[in-house]
Amino acid sequence: EVAVTATMELVARLKRDREFRDVKVTPLLILAKAMCLAVRRNPGTNATWDEAAQEIVLKRYVNLGIAAATPRGLVVPNVKGADALSLPDLARALHELSATAREGRTQPTDMVGGTITITNVGVFGVDGGTPIINPGEAAILCVGRVIARPWVVDGAVVPRQVMELSLSFDHRCVDGALGSRVLASVAGFMTDPAVALALG
């Protein structure tokens, strides 16, 4: 569980910013940026297992998959080079990706080459889950809904916006320590998104 009140405040500010006026700004945008930064800090999660060679292959780029429920079923298009995009460019890429998926226009090339994925079960009013890793990837992050909950801050109970995060990972590539570091890194960025934006 992560207190994301600061992220929700940031989302509200970005919605009023002219740089983001043509795109839908949601907590998923900040989460996508946080995921890219967490991968940069922990590159072992941005990998695949080569069965033939019996070795881990690290990817030097992040093609960030976003699982999307469509009338035709679940698709997982990915944003190519997501780690190299500015926040406004990432917002535009996510907007285009989701609009194309909803309209059933996702091209096969948009669904291959993913390196790590986010699935948002929160859109269904769900708090969390245990997603299955996409073939050719080593990890998938599951994000639940944002909901107001009581939170203890400096000994006092205060209301906070809270979400649940969980990470499924392939133990051939990622052990529990690395998986936990990635999850903690994403959680830290979502708690204090100013750090994520400062880092890039």
d(CA 131, CA 66): 12
Among residues 9, 112, 171, 195, the one annotated as catalytic is 171
Inter-residue long-range contacts of 161-165, CB under 8 Å, 24+ positions, other chains counted:
161/3, 161/4, 161/5, 161/7, 161/8, 162/1, 162/2, 162/3, 162/4, 163/1, 163/2, 163/4, 163/27, 163/122, 163/190, 164/1, 164/2, 164/127, 164/128, 165/2, 165/128, 165/141, 165/190
171 carries an active-site annotation: yes
As a whole number of angstroms, the longest Cα–Cα distance in the chain is: 55
The residue among 48, 57, 181, 192 whose CA lies nearest residue 116 is 48
What residues are annotated to the active site?
171
